[in-house]
Structure 1
Amino acid sequence: MKNIGLIAPLWDWNVKYPFKTITCYPPLGLAYVASYLEKHGFAVSILDRSAVFAQSHFSMNALNIKTVEWIREFQLEIIGVSCCTGEHGDALKVAAMVNRAFPHIPVVFGGPHVSALAPLLLERYPIIDICVSGEGEISMLEICQSKKLEDIRGISFRKDGQIVNNPPRDVHKNIDDFAFPARHLLDMHFYTKRSTHLVPPLFIRGTDVISSRGCPYNCYFCASKVALGKGVRFQSVDLVIKELELLIDRYHIKALSFVDDMFATKKKRVKEICQKIINKGIHKELKWACQLKADIVDKELLQALKEAGCVLVEYGFESGSQKVLDRANKKAHVSFYYSAAELSRKAGILFQANIIAGLPGETVEDAQMTLSFVKKVKPDWLVLSRFKPLPGSIFYNELIDAGRLSVDIWERLFILEENPFNCSAMSDEQYARMLHHLHRHLFFIRSRKFIFNNFKCGIYHPRLIFYGVNRALNPKFKHLLYSIFR
Structure 2
Amino acid sequence: MKVLLVNPPVRKKMQPQEIPIGLGLIAAVAKQEGQQLSFLDLNVHRPSLQIAAQEIAIDDYDVIGIGGLSSQYQDIRNILPVCRQIHPDALIVAGGGFVTYMPDKMLRLRPEIDIIVIGEGEETWRDLLKAAPKKDFSGVKGIAYRNEEGKVIYTEPRPLIPDLDTLPYPAYDLMEIDTYAENYDLCYSEESLHSKRKLCIISERGCPRQCTFCTHNGASRWDMLVSVGKEKVLKLDEEYGFQQIARFTSAEYTLKHMQYLYEKYDCGYIYLTDENLTSNRKRTTELCNLMIENDTPSKIHWGTAGDTASVNDELISLMKKAGCTFISFGGESGSDKVLKYDIQKGTTRKNNQDCVDIMKRQGMEPVMTFMLGNPHEDVNDILETTDFFVKNNIACDPFICTPYPGTKLYLDYEQQILEQFDQRLAEVKKLPKGSIDNELIQQWKDNALDKFLGSLDDADVLSAHVSQVFNHHDLLGLKALMFAHDIPRILKVAHMRNWPHDKKWNEHCPDCSAKNEINELRKVNEALFTPTAATGESDQI
Question: TM (normalized to structure 2)?
Answer: 0.74
- Please identify, of 412-421 and 424-433, the stretch whose mean Cα deviation from structure 2 is larger: 412-421
Q: Which of structures 1 and 2 has the bigger CA Rg?
A: 2
In structure 2, C-alpha distance between the alignment counterparts of 1:6 and 1:262, rounded to whole Å: 29
- CA–CA separation in structure 1 for the residues paired with 2:165 and 2:379: 47
Unaligned 5+ residue runs, structure 1? 15-19, 54-61, 443-486
Give the whole-Å Cα distance in 2 for the aligned partners of 1:156 and 1:83.
17
Q: Cα 1:366–1:266, aligned 2, differ >3 Å: closer, same or farther? A: same
Residue of structure 2 equivalent to 1:128: 113
Q: Check the 8 A contact 1:199/1:256 in 2, yes or no.
A: no
Query: Could you tell me whether the CA contact under 8 Å between 1:198 and 1:256 is conserved in 2?
Result: no
Closer, same or farther: CA 47–356 of 1 in aligned 2, 3 Å: farther
Match of 1:285 in 2: 299
- CA contact under 8 A between 2:17 and 2:184: conserved in structure 1? no
The Cα shift of 1:330 comes to 0.9
**1:5 aligned partner:** 4
Q: Percent identity?
A: 23
User: Do 1:111 and 1:227's aligned partners in 2 also have CA atoms closer than 8 Å?
Assistant: no
Counterpart residue number, 2:158: 169
- Give the structure 2 partner of residue 368 of structure 1: 383
Q: Which moved more, 1:227-236 or 1:361-370?
A: 227-236
Q: Following the alignment from structure 1 to structure 2, what is the Cα–Cα distance between the partners of residues 333 and 265?
A: 15
- 1 CA distance for matches of 2:66 and 2:258? 28
Any conservation in 1 of the 2:74–2:455 contact (CA below 8 Å)? no
- What are the residue-to-residue correspondences of 1:323-362 with 2, within 5 Å? 323-326=337-340, 327-362=342-377
**Structure-2 change in CA distance of 1:23 and 1:170 (3 Å):** same
8 Å Cα contact 1:8-1:49 kept in structure 2? yes
Q: Matched residues in 2 for 1:417 and 1:339: separation?
A: 26
Partner of 2:103: 118
Residue 199 of structure 2 is aligned to residue 207 of structure 1: yes
Quote the offset at 1:289 in angstroms.
0.8
Q: Specify whether residues 365 and 264 from structure 1 end up closer, same or farther in structure 2 by C-alpha distance, changes over 3 A only.
A: same
Deviations 1:383-441 (A, max 9, x none): 63221111111111111267875761632442698864332222443222112223455
- SS of aligned partner of 2:398: strand
Give the Cα–Cα distance (whole angstroms) in 2 for the partners of residues 7 and 82 of structure 1: 7
In structure 2, give the amino acid aligned to 1:311: T
Q: Would the aligned equivalents of 2:335 and 2:349 in 1 still touch at CA under 8 Å?
A: yes
Deviation at 1:176, TM superposition (A): 1.2
User: What residue in structure 1 maps to residue 310 of structure 2?
Assistant: 296
Pair 1:138 & 2:123 matched:
yes
Q: Which residue does 1:49 correspond to in 2?
A: 42
Residue 418 and residue 227 in structure 1: after superposition, are their counterparts in 2 closer, same or farther (change >3 A)? closer
Question: Corresponding residue for 1:181?
Answer: 170
Q: Would you say the 8 A contact 1:156–1:166 is kept in 2? A: yes
For 1:149, the aligned partner's letter is F
C-alpha separation between the residues in 1 aligned to 2:393 and 2:407?
A: 30
Rounded to whole Å, the distance in 2 between the matches of 1:83 and 1:418 is: 18
What is the DSSP-based 3-state SS (H/G/I as helix, E as strand, rest coil) of the residue aligned with 1:203? Answer: helix
Distance 1:151 1:319, change over 3 A: same
Aligned to 2:314, the other structure's residue is in SS state helix
- Of 381-390 and 239-248, deviating more is 381-390
1:119–1:437: structure 2 CA closer, same or farther, 3 Å change rule?
same
> Does the CA-based 8 Å contact 2:276-2:307 persist in structure 1?
yes
Summarize the alignment of residues 4-153 of structure 1 with structure 2, pairs less than 5 Å apart: 4-11=3-10, 14=12, 20-53=13-46, 62-146=47-131, 148-153=136-141
CA deviation digits over 1:294-353, x for unaligned, max 9? 111111100110100111011111111111111211111110110011101111122211
- What SS class does the counterpart of residue 257 from structure 1 fall into? strand
Distance in 2 of aligned mates of 1:316 and 1:418: 18
Deviations for 1:144-191, whole angstroms, at most 9, x for unmatched residues?
Answer: 112521111111111122111222211111111113111111000011
1:477 corresponds to: none
Kindly provide the CA deviation profile for residues 185-225 of structure 1, in whole angstroms up to 9, marking residues without a partner as x.
10000111155336556423301111121111211111216
For the aligned residue pairs, the C-alpha RMSD in angstroms reads 2.3
Aligned to 1:431: 475
Deviation, structure 1 residue 293: 1.1
Deviations 1:40-72 (A, max 9, x none): 22232322222111xxxxxxxx43244233333
- Residue 135 of structure 1 and its aligned partner are, at CA, apart by 0.6
SS in 1 for 2:93: strand
Instruction: State the SS of the aligned residue for 1:164.
Output: strand
- Alpha-carbon distance between aligned partners in 2 of 1:70 and 1:223, rounded to the nearest angstrom: 33
Q: Report the equivalent of 1:58.
A: none
Amino acid at match of 2:349: V
Shift of 1:370: 1.1
* 1:156 equivalent in alignment to 2:170: no
8 Å contact kept, 2:15–2:183: no
Superposition deviation, residue 375 in structure 1:
2.3
Partners of 2:25 and 2:122 within 8 A in 1: yes
Give, as a single letter, the amino acid of the residue that structure 2 aligns with 1:433.
Answer: G
CA–CA distance in structure 2, aligned partners of residues 364 and 224 of structure 1: 30
Contact 1:115 1:227 in 2 (8 A): no
CA contact (8 A) 2:17 2:181 kept: no
Can you list the C-alpha shifts for 1:215-245, whole angstroms capped at 9, x where unaligned? 1121111121634434122212211111111
Is the 2:268–2:301 Cα contact (8 Å) retained in structure 1? yes
**Amino acid in the other structure paired with 2:127:** E
Residues 253 and 286, structure 1, Cα contact 8 Å, conserved in 2: yes
2:500 is aligned to none
Q: Is the 8 A contact 1:310 1:349 kept in 2?
A: no
Q: In 2, distance between residues paired with 1:235 and 1:229?
A: 17
Indicate the SS of the match to 1:311: strand
Partners of 1:399 and 1:405 within 8 A in 2:
no
Is there any run of 5+ residues in structure 2 with no aligned partner, and where? 223-244, 421-444, 487-541
Letter of the 1:176 partner, please give it: D
- How many residues in Structure 1 have an aligned counterpart in Structure 2? 426
Q: What is the letter of the counterpart of residue 153 of structure 2?
A: V
User: Aligned partner of 1:335: which letter?
Assistant: K
The CA deviation at 1:127 is 1.1
Offset at residue 74 of structure 1 (A): 4.8
Match of 2:289 among 262, 275, 282: 275
User: Do the aligned residues in 1 keep the contact of 2:399 with 2:460 (CA within 8 Å)?
Assistant: no
TM-score, normalised on structure 1?
Answer: 0.82
Separation in 2, partners of 1:120, 1:145: 27
